[in-house]
Amino acid sequence: MKILILGAGKMGSFFCDVLSVNHEVAIYDTDKERLRFTFNALRFTTMEEIEEFKPEMMINAVTVKYTIEAFNQVLPYLPANCIISDIASVKTGLPEFYASSGHPFVSTHPMFGPTFASLSNLSNENAIIITESDHLGKVFFRDLYNELHLHVCEYSFDEHDETISYSLSIPFASTLVFASVMKHQDAPGTTFKRHMAIAHGLMSEDDYLLQEILFNPRTPHQLDLIKGQLDRLQTIIENKDSEAMKEYLNEVRNNLK
């Protein structure tokens, strides 16, 4: 299959490396420097090159802030039967875009990123394929993700957003609060160092991505749950209530099963 990848960032380059083994791959980026270390793929910097390439599938891997803008720029240069796709962690506006695009589409979300995941071993990672996607696109990505040994789930756009509000909004918000009250430690403990490593990784992400994930309409409810548990824990600590603490710790352990 002839596959075009938009964006030569970390995830775009990752998909380029993976797909170029069995497919004819081209990667497009407006920044020529980002294409310098791209191998086994055609390197494009103009829309005319994309038009001449005639891709059968296009994977949009640009920064989430520019996902729809990048789609709109490239659509006039794609064949009518080209399957268009995204791997965005934020799907805001995409259902409406796809409905008006005139192209078959597939939307997925690899639930891992270059900050924390080992891209050479993804057997403990997950991916989501959006239910509303076209059949052939879903088959393509399910086969790809199975080859990468990912655990694959199929969710609707709405179910995806709810999952993200839980699986990303809660840890993002918790990490931000942790980092906001931290001070430098000359002799940090193991737990502290692990939390700090997560915080540093989170803060290396794109600001817009963090904002959009936290601005998910379902995030405030998750934050209310966090605040409620913090209030409960604070009351237990202030009262030095051993029985209540034991009950609380047992509840937490059960949640982790």
pLDDT in tens, 160-197: 988 888 888 889 999 999 999 988 888 889 999 999 99
One-letter amino acid of 162: E
Which pLDDT does position 115 carry in this prediction? 52
Closest C-alpha among 34, 67, 33, 27 to residue 50? 27
Per-residue model confidence as pLDDT tens digits over 82-107: 999 999 988 989 999 999 999 999 99
More confident position, 36 or 151? 151
Report which listed range, 12-21, 161-170, 181-190, 199-208, is most confident: 12-21
Mean pLDDT, range 226-235, rounded to an integer: 96
Alpha carbons 56 and 61: distance in angstroms, whole number: 16
Give the per-residue pLDDT at 114: 55
Per the CB < 8 A criterion, the answer to whether 152 and 146 are in contact is yes
Mean pLDDT of 219-231: 93
Which of 104, 107, 76 has the alpha carbon at shortest distance from 94? 107
* E strand or H helix that includes residue 83: strand 83-86
State the average pLDDT over residues 136-153: 96
More confident residue, 32 or 234: 234
Q: What is the average pLDDT across 26-55?
A: 94
The pLDDT of residue 120: 65
Residue 119 has pLDDT above 70, yes or no: no
All residues at 6 or more sequence positions from 26 whose CB lies less than 8 Å from its CB, including other chains: 2, 3, 4, 5, 41, 42, 43, 44, 49, 50, 53, 55
Residue 82: CB atoms within 10 Å: 21
Cα–Cα distance for residue pair 93/101, rounded to 1 Å: 12
- What's 166's DSSP letter? I
Whole-number pLDDT of residue 254: 95
Closest CA relative to residue 128, chosen from 95, 103, 91, 92: 91
Is residue 209 very low, low, confident or very high in pLDDT (cuts 50, 70, 90)?
A: confident
Task: Give how far Cα 90 sits from Cα of 66, 95, 213, Å.
Answer: 11, 11, 6
| pLDDT value at residue 205 | 83
CA dist 90 and 207 (Å) reads 13
Q: Are 163 and 155 in contact (CB under 8 A)?
A: yes
Give percent above pLDDT 90 in the chain.
73
Q: Which is nearest to 34 in space by CA: 59, 63, 55?
A: 63
pLDDT value for 2: 98
pLDDT bracket for residue 213 (50, 70, 90): confident
Model pTM score: 0.81
Cα–Cα dist 85/120, whole Å: 23
pLDDT at 49: 97
| Mean pLDDT for all residues in the chain | 92
